Chain A
């Protein structure tokens, strides 16, 4: 699985959009981009994933560049409850057992 690079930490004002970048320049054609987050003292939680098209669900939007070497997770209206460590993971979606390879992630602090 390809490696990812994320900033160590970011701050965001409550109510504003939080844009979390991720670089994955060695991503392979059959690898998807996944985002999980981990709120303090909880297990990681799935947010969203995509291959090459932009994706949106009730939690967030995922923007993947055309060359697929980077992506951005967008939380449109961040709340204090969104304070967490966000992990960007690239993985093969089919034909693998599916264990996740986490990096250190980005610690997002949403401030009032």
Chain B
């Protein structure tokens, strides 16, 4: 399909493990966003890319979280030394540009840290 895809859909990690979450945005979309959604809450902004440049990482909760988009397309969110409080759904969204363009969301990756 032509939508945003994310993998894996589900990830279970033991506390202290590193994880990598992948996002394939819609082809041609310049902007890419990562959000974190805790159970029963709305999504919260983590970081923003314009092409390969990470322009805003103000929402990343700690230096254990790292995101990259090296070729301006696929993006990876990496979490090092996972903690139980990292358990959440991680959503990726892409859009044609910033500002008011419609954001298209992927289905998310549900991360459970035991």
A positions within 8 Å CB-CB of B: 32, 34, 41-46, 49, 85, 87, 91-105
B95 interface contact, C-beta 8 A: yes
Contacts of B101 in A (CB 8 A): 98
Contacts of B43 in A (CB 8 A): 44, 100, 102
Question: Would A95 and B99 count as touching, CB distance under 8 A?
Answer: yes
Q: Known pairs A42-B107, A87-B42, A94-B99. 13 more at Cβ < 8 A?
A: A43-B93, A43-B108, A45-B105, A46-B102, A46-B103, A85-B42, A98-B31, A98-B98, A98-B101, A99-B48, A99-B56, A100-B93, A102-B35
B positions within 8 Å CB-CB of A: 4, 31, 33, 35, 40-45, 48, 50, 55-56, 59, 91, 93, 95, 97-108
Could you jot down 17 A-B contacts, CB within 8 Å?
A32-B100, A43-B107, A44-B105, A46-B103, A49-B100, A85-B42, A93-B100, A94-B99, A94-B100, A96-B98, A97-B99, A98-B31, A98-B100, A99-B45, A99-B59, A100-B93, A104-B42
Given contacts A93-B99, A94-B100, A104-B42, contact A99 B105 (CB under 8 A): no
Smallest beta-carbon distance B17→chain A, Å? 24
What total count of A-B pairs have CB within 8 Å?
A: 73
Question: Would A97 and B42 count as touching, CB distance under 8 A?
Answer: no
Kindly state the separation between the CA atoms of A49 and B31 in the bound complex, as whole angstroms: 19
Question: Would B99 and A104 count as touching, CB distance under 8 A?
Answer: no
Kindly state the separation between the CA atoms of A79 and B101 in the bound complex, as whole angstroms: 28
Contacts of A34 in B (CB 8 A): 100
Smallest beta-carbon distance B45→chain A, Å? 4
Question: Would A97 and B103 count as touching, CB distance under 8 A?
Answer: no
Partner of A105, one of B42, B100, B107: B42
Smallest beta-carbon distance A17→chain B, Å? 24
Return the chain B residue nearest A103 by Cβ: B42
Partner of A97, one of B4, B50, B93, B104: B50
